[in-house]
Chains A and B, each alone.
Chain A
């Protein structure tokens, strides 16, 4: 008797069987009691089965390909470390990129993992639940592999070991922390717009694509392999974010104004977060590949316009801040680097004045702004530094109540004027970096009055190392910030003359001579 062998199922059928056919509706308790969070934000969903899964990855394929990515990643990492790879980077200034990256990125990957675990539990449809669960596992992978890849550098260079302690305390890490705190304390749909759209589509495209390509160009195979390995998951993640936006818009026309407000808000929050990534590209990579401005044009202006033109059929408008971000792309990286240079006692990474050929590169890449506004400032600082009068701003910064950036960006239309906004809520005054942040605050003041801002909290005696008596008569608030931050002073201040600089030169010498 002949056996009838049925044909292997196609990808679409396999995926449908795994998601829709394995899911069930609860009967002991009504569905809306089991999944209450999807109703809190005002988003109306009528049919979860209309969710279209863009990547149709089944579990067997997921584990198979993820395992292969890991094997490849660790093969490269091992080879790089066995070969003293850290000595093959362009120059020791590069290590400061890693210090900034380590403090700002892996902790956010961990928050992404936690957020997607929550949303995977909260979403009703099986499609989004499976996709969110896979994304959560991916984000754990990113968190761990990033720390792993940088741990080898930590054996040789200063200022990396306290990143976990510093994450929720250090002033300049607060923009990223507050981004995720804001997203994870919102509802599941807003979280998807915040992370799936703004973070994955706007931010990771710039962080992991041109920036990591730049790391490769600078000889850092460790950051390159870990960055590209993470980004191979991000393509899936941004697709999930876009699908969620389309799904909400297709389900009910009443969802449009809510989604539009989130797109406006999170595009702006993402833009603010990018100022420091752009600064790494323009100032901190010794060998430059592409300016922040060029990356912004490709990955936000063109790629973002493609998306917004596409979403126009649902009535979505280009985010309110779009024009301002285009104006700012020629300014923010210079303002950020100058801001960090001015605070040599307050960051566990080094700063420097770019060499003359690097200043020329910036003049060429930023013809409208660099020579006019920023080169003269940097050259002035350089002369002062050489004359033994290195600029050092010892005061606490003022921070925006929403994005927690230090208030340092310019007034739209006037690069010589600092932008500053304020509002009064319940008798208390709050400060903002921009009209957009002020508007975000005014939409949800009860949320943002709670923002933790270390420079403000320090003056209230809330940022002290253990054992400080804040009631002592000679107590001075903020006087022991370095101990509170656990800052390695060897890692701070000027790169020129630093221990990292000397060690690198000596080790490289040893590696090439007998």
Chain B
């Protein structure tokens, strides 16, 4: 069984756009709504693409702005200017 990579955010206007971007870029994404927070699970590998977030927000976005809204993550992280990737090898 593939392990889930996941990310959770505080629920707000910015993260609404970020979650929409994740859902667009990760066809297997499952969104879990909880009080004040939202969690997204993806089997194996979860990617957040800067360009998709920018389209959703209608402005420039620096992926490090994710720091402001993050609650928790699961998976090994690889962070560049264009992508924020969480993945499990098995």
Contacts and interface: CB of A to CB of B under 8 A. Distances in A.
Interface of A: 10-12, 54-57, 61, 65, 68-69, 72, 204-205, 208-210, 212-214, 216-217, 224, 228, 231-232, 234-236, 238-239, 242, 289-290, 302-303, 305-307, 309-310, 312-313
B8 A54 contact: no
Given A209-B37, A302-B4, 12 more contacts: A54-B77, A57-B64, A204-B72, A212-B36, A216-B36, A217-B35, A238-B72, A289-B34, A303-B4, A309-B3, A310-B76, A310-B88
A245 B62 CA distance: 29
Given A11-B81, A213-B35, A228-B36, A208 B90 contact: no
Nearest to B71: A231
B77 A55 contact: yes
A389 to B, nearest CB: 39
B10 interface: yes
Lowest 10 A-B CB distances belong to which pairs?
A306-B3, A216-B36, A217-B35, A54-B77, A65-B67, A232-B70, A309-B90, A235-B70, A235-B73, A11-B81
B64 A61 contact: yes
A213 B37 contact: yes
Contacts of A208: 71-72
B20 interface: no
A310 B3 contact: yes
A21 B15 CA distance: 35
Chain A interface main SS type: helix
Instruction: Tell me which of B8, B69, B72, B75 has the highest count of chain A C-beta atoms within 10 A of its own C-beta.
Output: B72
A232 B8 CA distance: 10
Interface string B66-90: 0111111111111111000000111
B65 interface: yes
Interface residues of B, number: 30
A61 B5 CA distance: 25
Instruction: Tell me which of B3, B77, B78 has the highest count of chain A C-beta atoms within 10 A of its own C-beta.
Output: B77
A213 B68 CA distance: 17
Contacts of A205: 72
Contacts of A56: 79
A26 to B, nearest CB: 31
A65 B68 CA distance: 7
A209 B8 contact: yes
B10 A228 contact: yes
Contacts of A236: 67
A65 B65 contact: yes
B71 A235 contact: yes
B90 A235 contact: no
Contact of A306 (B35, B65, B75): B75
A217 B35 CA distance: 6
B10 A10 contact: no
Contacts of A68: 68
A55 B79 contact: yes
Contacts of B88: 306, 309-310
Contacts of B71: 208-209, 228, 231-232, 235
B88 to A, nearest CB: 5
Contacts of B3: 302, 305-306, 309-310
A232 B9 CA distance: 9
B28 to A, nearest CB: 15
Nearest to B80: A11
Contacts of A290: 34
A490 to B, nearest CB: 32
Contact of B69 (A224, A232, A238): A232
Contacts of A217: 35-36
A430 to B, nearest CB: 37
Contacts of A232: 10, 67-71
Nearest to A204: B72
A293 B62 CA distance: 37
Interface string B31-56: 00011110000000000000000000
B44 to A, nearest CB: 10
25 contacts: A10-B80, A54-B77, A54-B78, A54-B79, A56-B79, A65-B67, A65-B68, A68-B68, A210-B34, A213-B34, A216-B35, A216-B36, A232-B67, A235-B72, A238-B72, A302-B4, A303-B6, A306-B3, A306-B88, A307-B74, A309-B3, A309-B90, A310-B88, A310-B90, A312-B90
Contacts of B6: 303
A307 B3 CA distance: 9
